[in-house]
């Protein structure tokens, strides 16, 4: 069995990426173990996966980013966590936090970066009548959605595609891409 890297997942919402990483991390050879879940949204459905899978989970308000990051660093250091995955975490982390954590932070974004950084990705993609979209896993730097790309998955957009159908289609790919990217980093 590989010595698993202690990992924290940051979420803000449904946590479907979190759930898929938890499931994959139960595999013997998966390189990471989820030791902590942090949400900046007390109502995040994803927090329920912490309860369900007996993984410690914490809510910290991010209204004051400095305080939020201080709370996170405390919990992360206490648990000797070495790797962070952002999975639908909708807050930009400070340069200081990223530097302090040694740049071992990755994120998933629902577009083919560097195109469509930021929010409302699917809406903007459809408005621009793009033929393709997809998802990207990348290292986190202080600039929004800009760090080194680890992997991408491209999908085609149908004629009658809606924001909701595109979101669903891409999420299915995100679930596969996130875990395969984690494997590729530690191979």
CB 35 within 8 A of CB 79: yes
Residues 145-184 that bind ligand GAR (CB under 6 A): 171, 174
| Contact flag: residue 16 with ligand GAR (CB under 6 A) | yes
15 lines the binding site for ligand GAR (CB under 6 A): yes
13 interacts with ligand GAR by CB under 6 A: yes
Least Å from the CB of residue 78 to ligand GAR:
25
Q: What does residue 140 show for φ and ψ, rounded to 5 degrees?
A: -95, 130
Closest CA to 145 of 104, 86, 61: 86
Q: How far apart (Å, rounded) are the C-alpha atoms in residues 31 and 20?
A: 14
Residue number with the shortest CB distance to ligand GAR? 88
First to last CA, the chain: 14
Is residue 84 near ligand GAR by the rule CB under 6 A?
no
Q: Is residue 17 near ligand GAR by the rule CB under 6 A?
A: yes
- With binding defined as CB under 6 A, does residue 138 bind ligand GAR? no
Interactions with ligand GAR, residue window 88-117 (CB under 6 A): 88, 108-110
Look up 122 and say whether it is catalytic.
no
Whether 44 contacts 56, CB under 8 Å: no
- Of 109, 122, 138, 175, which is the active-site residue? 109
Nearer to ligand GAR, 69 or 174 (CB): 174
Is 134 near ligand GAR (CB under 6 A)? no
Q: Which of 30, 34, 36, 42 is nearest to 3 (CA)?
A: 30
Q: Which two tokens stand for residue 90?
A: 């909708």
Query: In the complex, what is the shortest distance from the CB of residue 82 to ligand GAR, in angstroms, rounded to a whole number?
Result: 22
Q: How many residues bind ligand GAR (CB under 6 A)?
A: 14
Determine which helix (DSSP H) or strand (DSSP E) holds 149, and give its type and residue range. strand 149-156
**Site residues for ligand GAR, window 34-53 (CB under 6 A)?**
46
Residue located via tokens 């491209």? 154
CA–CA distance from 102 to each of 25, 67, 96 (Å)? 23, 19, 10
Catalytic residues: 109
Residues in contact with ligand GAR by the rule CB under 6 A: 11, 13-17, 46, 87-88, 108-110, 171, 174
């Amino acid at each position: 069995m590989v010595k698993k890297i202690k990992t924290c997942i940051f979420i803000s919402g449904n946590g479907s990426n979190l759930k898929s990483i938890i499931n994959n991390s139960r595999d013997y050879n998966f390189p990471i173990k989820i030791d902590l879940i942090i949400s900046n949204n007390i109502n995040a459905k994803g927090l329920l996966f912490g309860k369900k899978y007996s993984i410690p989970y914490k809510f910290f308000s991010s209204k004051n980013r400095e305080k939020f990051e201080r709370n996170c660093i405390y919990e992360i250091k206490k648990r000797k966590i070495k790797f962070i995955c952002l999975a639908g975490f909708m807050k930009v982390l400070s340069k200081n936090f990223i530097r302090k954590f040694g740049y071992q932070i990755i994120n998933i974004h629902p577009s083919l970066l560097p195109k469509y950084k930021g929010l409302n990705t699917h809406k903007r993609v459809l408005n621009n009548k793009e033929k393709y979209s997809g998802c990207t896993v990348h290292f986190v730097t202080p600039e929004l959605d800009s760090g080194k790309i680890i992997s991408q998955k491209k999908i085609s957009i149908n004629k009658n595609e809606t924001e909701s159908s595109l979101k669903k289609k891409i999420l299915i790919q995100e679930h596969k891409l996130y875990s395969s990217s984690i494997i590729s980093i530690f191979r």
